[in-house]
Amino acid sequence: MAVDFERQQKKCPLAQSERYETSLMLTYEQARNKVIEQVGRKRGPRDVVGVSVWDALGLVLAQEVKTDRPYPPFDRSTRDGFAVWAKKVAPGTKLKCVGEIKAGDTVREALAEGACVQIMTGAAVPAGADAVVMIEHTHREGDWVQFERTARAGQNIVPRGSEAAAGQTILMPGMRLGYAELALAAQVGAAQLQCAKRPRVAILSTGDEVVLIDEAPGEFQIRNSNSVSLSAQVRIAGAEPVVLGNAADRAEDLGEKIERGLREDALVLSGGVSMGKYDLVEKVLKAMGAEFFFDAVAIRPGKPAVFGECQGKPVFGLPGNPVSTMVTFELFVAPAIDLLSGADARPLPLVEARLAEALNERPGLTHFLPARVEWRGASAEVKPLKWQGSGDIAALAGANCFLVVPAEREKIAAGEKVSVFLRKDVV
Ligand code: AMP
Ligand code: MG
């Protein structure tokens, strides 16, 4: 459809001058801290659900977990070998082997001072014995075992209760349940865990040009990829996405859909926060009573990112260009989801790497460039990828990190150390 400019002028919902005008530009670190401070301030007890240990991966624990008995529950051998009285073993010593103890065997009898007993990894060390000599350091002939070395008291034995005492708290509320934490819960018999409910995060894209991903877009329309990336990012961050579709660049439609989004624990919008005439997100939020904590961040891509609170809920207005949306989500929304989940905000996954080729960027803003980091032995090397700017999803799809170019840097020589912001979903 051809554009009738004159008619469009008359229909324009808001004159440019009416736009919300305060500019609160922060560095990305300040902006992130602002989010953590504001969302953290409101952190209260979360709704709790009982979840099987099999299904609790990534959830945040809402209870203490205590041991049911000492760990290990008995003096445990960590090697296959022979249990001995350490003081009786020197190079060349021969001791009579009086039997064997397998993992799981009941062990009641003490070991006589001048004897040894064959023992397997994970088996209980008998009373009296205070060392296990690895089988590799012995020679066996019939019932007799000859030792090559001196034994040291305590060697290859983990004493009863040395990992944890009975009744000791081993997992705390606020801990995120990864595989080791789940194994620990399983070890002590905590098969059901009280966890914080995942926060629900509403996702609303905006823009007259945006169509559903299964629709055929017109020549000048684009598919709603942001709702897909945001939904994935919300999930990775540990929350449940509530996808609300797309709002047109009209105050009324935006207002209705924002209202719906504010029923969830947080609302994330994409698009409509730049300086364009139809960028109405801030204006509409403002009219709905929002308070803003920043509405610009000194980064590229992602500068127009907005964070505020509306009707008691954190609201993020992320710029609509897909790479901007993705970067600003990771920087600002992910820590809010951590806090809403009952955990502390996880630090940004920043690592140091050597720059593979010289860089020349405009100074003034911190740049997040799609890049690939490769590890050569212990040292990491990072190479920026060719890209066409913040709309270039293909560049980011081949990247495993963002190369962070500090605002004050213009030229960075090959070989210099730089900071790399890992894409946790692919590295
Ligand atoms: P905006 O921030 O609203 O000015 O949007 C900037 C650009 O981002 C638009 O011109 C689109 O090309 C792109 N964009 C906006 N919304 C979406 C979306 N939901 N999915 C993919 N691209 C988008
Ligand atoms: Mg737009």
pLDDT digits (tens, 9 = 90+) for 383-422: 999 999 999 999 999 999 999 999 999 999 999 999 999 9
CB of 128 shorter than 6 A to ligand 1: no
Least confident among 8-17, 55-64, 150-159, 320-329: 8-17
**Atom 5 of ligand 1: nearest residue by CA position:** 320
**Atom 15 of ligand 1: nearest residue by CA position:** 320
Tell me what pLDDT residue 42 has.
84
pLDDT beyond 90 at 9: no
On the 0-12 / 13-18 / 19+ scale of CB atoms within 10 A, 332 is: buried
Tell me what pLDDT residue 3 has.
54
Tell me what pLDDT residue 19 has.
41
Average pLDDT score over residue span 203-219: 97
Tell me what pLDDT residue 377 has.
86
Tell me what pLDDT residue 18 has.
41
On the 0-12 / 13-18 / 19+ scale of CB atoms within 10 A, 207 is: buried
Tell me what pLDDT residue 24 has.
80
CB of 302 shorter than 6 A to ligand 1: no
Ligand nearest to the CA of 320: 1
Average pLDDT score over residue span 158-178: 98
**Atom 11 of ligand 1: nearest residue by CA position:** 321
Q: Quote the CA–CA distance of 76 and 119 in Å, as a whole number.
A: 10
pLDDT beyond 60 at 242: yes
CA nearest 343: which of 39, 33, 19, 7? 39
Rounded distance from Cα 323 to ligand 1 centre (Å): 10
Average pLDDT score over residue span 304-310: 98
Instruction: Give the model confidence (pLDDT) of 179-190 as tens digits.
Output: 999 999 999 999
Residue ranges with CB less than 5 Å from ion ligand 2: 207, 271-272, 320
Tell which atom from ligand 1 comes closest to the C-alpha of 225. 20
CA nearest 77: which of 34, 127, 131? 131
Cis peptide bond upstream of 72, omega within 30: yes
In angstroms, the Cα distances linking 148 to 89, 125, 288 are: 9, 21, 81
Tell me what pLDDT residue 43 has.
80
Q: Quote the CA–CA distance of 148 and 133 in Å, as a whole number.
A: 10
**Atom 16 of ligand 1: nearest residue by CA position:** 320
| 71 vs 6, residue with greater confidence | 71
Alpha helix locations (H) across 157-292?
A: 179-187, 225-236, 251-261, 281-287
How many beta carbons lie within 10 A of that of residue 60, not counting itself? 23
Residues 6 or more apart from 335 whose CB is under 8 A from it? Answer: 32, 35, 36, 39, 345, 346
Least confident among 38-47, 172-181, 281-290, 401-410: 38-47
CA dihedral 354, 356, 358, 360 (to 10 degrees): -80
Task: Indicate the average pLDDT of the chain.
Answer: 94
Question: For the chain, how big is the Rg over CA atoms in Å?
Answer: 30
Q: How many residues does the chain have?
A: 427
In angstroms, the Cα distances linking 140 to 96, 144, 285, 301 are: 10, 6, 81, 70
Work out whether strand 417-422 and strand 350-355 pair parallel, antiparallel, or are unpaired: antiparallel
Cis peptide bond upstream of 301, omega within 30: yes
Maximal C-alpha separation, the chain: 105
The residue to which tokens 């620990």 are assigned: 184
CB of 320 shorter than 6 A to ligand 1: yes
Tokens of 379: 């040292």
CA angle (399, 234, 347) in 5-degree steps: 70
**266 - beta bridge partners?**
201
Ligand nearest to the CA of 304: 1
Residues 6 or more apart from 286 whose CB is under 8 A from it? Answer: 20, 292
In angstroms, the Cα distances linking 329 to 28, 35, 56 are: 12, 12, 24
Instruction: Give the model confidence (pLDDT) of 21-42 as tens digits.
Output: 456 899 999 999 999 999 999 8
Q: Quote the CA–CA distance of 355 and 418 in Å, as a whole number.
A: 6
Tell me what pLDDT residue 11 has.
44
Average pLDDT score over residue span 135-152: 98
CB of 228 shorter than 6 A to ligand 1: no
Rounded distance from Cα 252 to ligand 2 centre (Å): 15
Tell me what pLDDT residue 12 has.
38
Tell me what pLDDT residue 21 has.
46
**169 - beta bridge partners?**
66
CB of 224 shorter than 6 A to ligand 1: yes
Instruction: Give the model confidence (pLDDT) of 50-68 as tens digits.
Output: 999 999 999 999 999 999 9
pLDDT beyond 50 at 140: yes
Average pLDDT score over residue span 343-357: 97
CB of 221 shorter than 6 A to ligand 1: no
CA dihedral 255, 220, 211, 323 (to 10 degrees): -80
Residues 6 or more apart from 8 whose CB is under 8 A from it? Answer: none
Rounded distance from Cα 224 to ligand 2 centre (Å): 12
- Predicted confidence band of residue 303 (pLDDT cuts 50, 70, 90): very high
Tell me what pLDDT residue 135 has.
98
DSSP 3-state of 344: coil
On the 0-12 / 13-18 / 19+ scale of CB atoms within 10 A, 3 is: exposed
